[in-house]
């Protein structure tokens, strides 16, 4: 039987800021997106006691906790800490799945016979993370990723929770708490009488088994290898604007910026995407999301921008009002061999984008700008 550890860094962005600036550790800390109209991206547990949550607008967060310390997010530093985090995990097992910037799953089936116990292994991993990057982690242990991830939530902050009998554990869990179901689907389950896991198990055993395994148990070695090789499952960049926008050319400048940042992340990690999307949030917080599939997969800035621009121009309706925020995102990621990614004779666009990003890494981001940042294209 496989055993899985889910490791989640506690209040990641806020914890990184505390690690970089120890004077912040005793304060109620809130990390925000750009500008006063940005939203909360992370808050330490002192701030959370005041009701601060991720995604909350600045004004509401400030009204709940005016004595909080509000700082702007620094994603480059967070990505550096994330890389260090995954390097630590890879020292313990080759079977690591990078789930998000601050989360990972480890199949420890081959390791639990080496260590004294699964909990002992989890404590050792937590201690190593704390020593190396000065951040607390919570760890859940289960037969599969579903139970391990739920156990991590019960372990927060900074604890370890082990599920001994997965089936008994999940039967008592609210359907809305099961990873992969989400709020919208849980409402539909509720309408047909599925409130807890036991309701699904009793009335639809096949669905119950699918839920337990469908969240991504390690099925075959090939699948495990592919999951381990991906540094993340999706990439997104967005912003809540300082003022509501309706001028399309002005909005396209932001789409260009987000597309370039996404392309840099993909190329740096040798990953391609077969899905590009945009999310529009209007002045009244109404949201719309549009996406398109890409064949073959892409990673260069020009193609990502072209797809995001087309989605925006085809779907933005000024009659619905001005935009408060916009996000560009990519998904359905695939690992791309390095010999394919960077050889000009194979893919000139990827090679060009890679060269531009190397120049920026050496001389700074302001050394080169896309022409469309200054000209209406």
Taking a C-beta distance cutoff of 8 angstroms, is the pair 161, 15 a contact? no
Q: List Cβ neighbours of 88 (8 Å cut-off, separation of 6 or more).
A: 125, 128, 129, 132, 133
Instruction: Respond yes or no on whether the N-terminal peptide bond of residue 157 is cis (omega within 30° of 0).
Output: yes
> How many helices and strands (H and E) does the chain possess?
15, 12
Query: Whose CA is closest to 30, among 21, 43, 49?
Result: 43
> Would you tell me how many other CB atoms lie within 10 Å of the CB of residue 201?
18
Burial class of 32 by CB neighbour count within 10 A (0 to 12, 13 to 18, 19+): buried
For 372, the token pair is 């469309």
Is 209 among the residues known to form the active site?
no
Catalytic residue among 17, 18, 97, 103: 103
Q: List Cβ neighbours of 359 (8 Å cut-off, separation of 6 or more).
A: 367, 368
Residues noted as catalytic: 103
């Amino acid at each position: 039987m496989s055993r899985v550890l889910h490791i989640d860094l506690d209040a990641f962005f806020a914890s990184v800021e505390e690690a970089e600036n120890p004077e912040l550790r005793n304060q109620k800390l809130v990390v925000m997106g750009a500008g006063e109209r940005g939203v909360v991206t992370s808050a330490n547990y002192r701030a959370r006691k005041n009701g601060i949550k991720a995604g909350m607008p600045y004004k509401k967060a400030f009204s709940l906790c005016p004595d909080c310390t509000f700082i702007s997010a620094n994603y480059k530093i967070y990505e550096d800490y994330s890389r260090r985090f995954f390097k630590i995990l890879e020292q313990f097992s080759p079977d690591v799945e990078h789930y998000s910037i601050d989360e990972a799953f480890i199949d420890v089936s081959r390791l639990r016979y080496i260590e004294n116990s699964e909990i002992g292994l989890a404590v050792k991993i937590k201690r190593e993370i704390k020593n190396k990057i000065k951040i607390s982690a919570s760890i859940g242990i289960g037969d599969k990723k579903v139970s391990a991830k739920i156990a991590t939530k019960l372990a927060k902050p900074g604890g370890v929770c082990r599920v001994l009998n997965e089936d008994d554990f999940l039967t008592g869990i609210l359907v809305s708490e099961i990873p992969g179901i989400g709020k919208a689907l849980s409402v539909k389950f509720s309408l047909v009488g599925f409130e807890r896991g036991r309701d699904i198990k009793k009335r639809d055993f096949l669905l119950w088994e699918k839920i337990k395994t469908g969240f991504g148990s390690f099925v075959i070695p090939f699948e495990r290898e592919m999951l381990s090789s991906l540094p993340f499952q999706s990439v997104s960049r967005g912003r809540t604007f300082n003022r509501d926008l309706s001028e399309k050319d002005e909005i396209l400048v932001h789409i260009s910026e987000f597309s370039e940042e996404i392309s840099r992340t993909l190329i740096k990690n040798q990953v391609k995407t077969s899905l590009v999307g945009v999310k529009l949030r209007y002045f009244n917080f109404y949201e719309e999301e549009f996406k398109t599939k890409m064949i073959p997969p892409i990673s260069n800035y020009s193609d990502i921008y072209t797809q995001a621009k087309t989605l925006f121009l085809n779907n933005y309706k000024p009659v619905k009002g001005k935009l408060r925020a916009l996000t560009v995102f990519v998904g359905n990621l695939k690992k791309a061999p390095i010999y394919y990614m960077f050889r000009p004779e194979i893919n000139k666009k990827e090679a060009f984008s890679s060269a531009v990003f190397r120049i920026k890494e050496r001389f700074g981001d302001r050394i080169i700008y896309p022409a469309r940042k200054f000209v209406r294209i």
